[in-house]
Chain A
């Protein structure tokens, strides 16, 4: 029997009666007192799957893959050319699968905008009609293939989640075939992820706006911004290491989900020389730099696909209960876990608590929306709140709340990130790898940072705030993994 601790100083963890912790502390011994609360779901401990797979080992492999991945911006491309499985007449959206009839206002608005942008419809009404027809077909009403919309014959649209195509999109997350997208490569595992370019604030497609100026801006992005950035990135040897920029931004007060000031600045700094060298037109250079500089969230559309590229290699590890996807479509919140990659576990999307722009209230808010929660899945965003104390202002909090938020997330995560570090927590790694078992055991659901869209299409962002993921998704995933007997 090795009882080497007979020679070591005692350090105690107390789970239960506080008096025991107090009396140990009174003897000058370091003691950590756990704030134990029973699982609200009366869930047994899961150590093995029904098939006998060691969950702990599977999860260790999942988080090892996520932490050891690379995320390098290698270039840009047009969605139809670069996104696997992207076809004409296809529209990708945020969150789990959904049909037109159940889509929320902003997602419908963004789809209408995409139809106008692609030239599939000449008016918002035509676009809605086109989209609705497809929706009806998807829910089972046979319309016989092509249909007449306005004066032209249009093939039916097909809606699929971005996540089914290695892509992610903020808010409505709409990607249509002609849109330019970032290409992020995970060199360690050979996979790629995609995301559109961030349009900026105000009236923008991702919040469901489809006014002419929205479409005009998208066209400018396609014809001017995209080629300029693509040339610049491709001229840079080895591209731009986005994972590295995220790690730096976390040192600078970003959590790279709801705050991207530092990340955007770092990116601009990284790309500016190449941009100047590869673009012949000074005015274009100036406008590109201006566009990036005036949008504090420009980096979000890089941090998101980076997160996607990092998490995807964990998908398909048998028995792993680590969350690889959290995404919302404005109606439903869905998660997927590493051990069951094809399966969505869905619950109604939550309401965001936050600050509203002048003239708007909670009554105007659409439920939680977007694929941006991929950041929390990958070990930053809400997980790294302690590194971004400025964000707690959204809910009237104090910096201590930001620290507490991250500390709480350690309770439900499998490990700590080896690269995404948090200075305020003595450079501890950010919590990484949400484990559905721990969510169910503790009743603590992941904290999310997010923007708030108006519930009506075409209005745009009305605020920003914080919320938690609906725990029902995690309970459903847990139940799916739970073996019939409690096996340790």
Chain B
């Protein structure tokens, strides 16, 4: 047995705290006895009795903290003294106290909760970058929901995050699924083996919920914010997210969701996809095939990978529904072609149903209208209608030629993104409050040229607690308005959500159906169905 001591001059701790430390040290292997006390004569006398007082300990003053360890060998004694220093340095978090004491800064919150590892920032744009900096500098991943963050700030934040191995999701990232937790506008999706990285928030919600509806699940859903895939930002987080999923052992299949990236960014994404042997589905919201995209990327190494070998199984999906279906098939090791065939069969059945409904309409009812709360879903519908119907007017059109002169007045085939800023200044987003959409729905119902109205209903965390109640009443009224004028109005919608969402997928679906809505499985199907009615 040997005795070793450590004296911390001038360090004071309450005796109860010291006894707790002593108890913990005594439990260490090879340690026979421990005393952690202030160096008062009385304490030293007790130490002497216990055979713990050596010359060094005897020199301690009443103002010194004295740690004495009796152990079987030098190594055990040293380990105990080391542990003692560690315990003395430890700081406890303060208990949760009433809401009156909420911290005013992220730094103070972090001190009270040292284990925090992710920050959600949704303050007004001009303050958002500073908050994101605080979080990143403290080593936290960030979901930056705020808009109106300068692109220079976005680049600087993302470069810093990348160098620190952190995620900076956003700005303008509304959705993320991290470790099974839905952040921002997100859905209660089960865990699984499909990872998603998305530069499109509702795109992430749609794909993840379609995967859930098919009985599969998600590892991580990383949002990047829409501007990430622009030329200037260069896809910094898209690439980092992709790398993270490629490295994540739980992720078997990767889905990339984005509006069409800048060509240089597409090239980088494809190059990164080619570095991993994980099957990857690209839903780039474009009509390009992957081969077309590869062709466009000139000397990208993926061409060789894709063409010369089947090592990297990369494929494009035409829409979000196909992306989800392909990912689910891949995740189960099932045939991708079979999955595609199944979708085609569903499409055919849908077309027959649409044609049957069409007979109820009069000859003047020729146009489709889409009233959307989700930007990505809005764009998906525009792309599908553009392919089948031609020109599609919008406040956020694919082709600037078809920008509505007045966003409040539809023309021919029109899709309106009600989440655009012009509709949300001073008002809540349509995912939270449908009043603008309800008004517009009734307005479209009075238009004799309208045959069908397509809607998205996005539920989940952050969304309206019961959108079907609000929308259902409006849909019933819209149909009544049309009927009073001697015509039928078709309303078709999909619910982006899951059964476990607070609003419940089935409850929303039933309420919408009761109001006379045709509720379909996905937004892509809704768009196709509507286009069959007027096409």
Contact = CB atoms under 8 A, between A and B. Distances in A.
B104 A12 contact: no
A10 B117 contact: yes
B103 interface: yes
B131 interface: yes
Nearest to B161: A1
A444 B101 CA distance: 14
A1 B240 contact: yes
Contacts of A20: 120, 122, 145, 183-184, 462
Nearest to B219: A6
B476 interface: no
Nearest to B140: A13
B122 A16 contact: yes
B10 A70 contact: yes
Contacts of B119: 12-15
B104 A34 contact: yes
B116 A24 contact: no
A2 interface: yes
Nearest to A442: B104
Interface stretch (A25-33, A314-322, A342-350, A460-468): A25-33
Contacts of A11: 113, 115-118
Interface in B131-189: 131, 133, 135, 140-141, 145-146, 156, 162, 165, 167, 178-179, 181-184, 188
Given A1-B162, A427-B17, A13 B109 contact: yes
Interface stretch (B24-32, B88-96, B320-328, B439-447): B88-96
B64 to A, nearest CB: 9
A23 interface: yes
B91 A429 contact: yes
A1 B244 contact: yes
A27 B119 CA distance: 16
Looking at A1, A2, A11, A247, which has the most chain B CB atoms within 10 Å of its CB?
A1
Contacts of A60: none
Contact of B103 (A9, A32, A427): A32
Contact of B12 (A247, A400, A404): A247
Interface string A21-48: 1011011011011111110000011000
Contacts of A12: 116, 118-120, 181, 183
Contacts of A36: 104-105, 123, 127, 131
B118 A10 contact: yes
Given A1-B240, A15-B119, A248-B12, A6 B105 contact: no
B14 interface: yes
Contacts of B14: 251, 421, 423
Given A6-B179, A9-B179, A24 B120 contact: yes
A32 B116 contact: yes
A3 B248 contact: yes
Contacts of B346: none
Nearest to A23: B461
B118 A5 contact: yes
Given A26-B502, A34-B106, A16 B165 contact: no
A3 B141 CA distance: 9
B112 interface: yes
A410 B112 contact: yes
A269 to B, nearest CB: 11
B409 interface: no
Interface in A420-447: 421, 423, 425-429, 438, 441-442, 444
A19 interface: yes
B109 A32 contact: yes
Contacts of B61: 237-238
A403 interface: yes
Interface in A366-417: 400, 403-404, 407-408, 410-411, 416
Given A12-B118, A34-B108, A425-B94, 5 more contacts: A1-B240, A15-B106, A407-B94, A407-B97, A428-B92
29 contacts: A1-B162, A1-B240, A3-B247, A6-B178, A8-B179, A9-B179, A10-B181, A11-B113, A12-B116, A13-B109, A15-B120, A15-B122, A16-B146, A24-B182, A35-B103, A36-B123, A37-B104, A45-B130, A237-B61, A238-B61, A243-B10, A251-B14, A408-B104, A416-B91, A418-B89, A425-B94, A427-B91, A427-B92, A441-B105
Q: Which 4 A-B pairs have the closest CB atoms?
A: A16-B122, A23-B461, A2-B165, A35-B102
Interface of B: 10-14, 17, 61, 63, 89, 91-95, 97-98, 100-113, 115-124, 127, 130-131, 133, 135, 140-141, 145-146, 156, 162, 165, 167, 178-179, 181-184, 188, 220, 240, 243-244, 247-248, 250, 461-462, 502
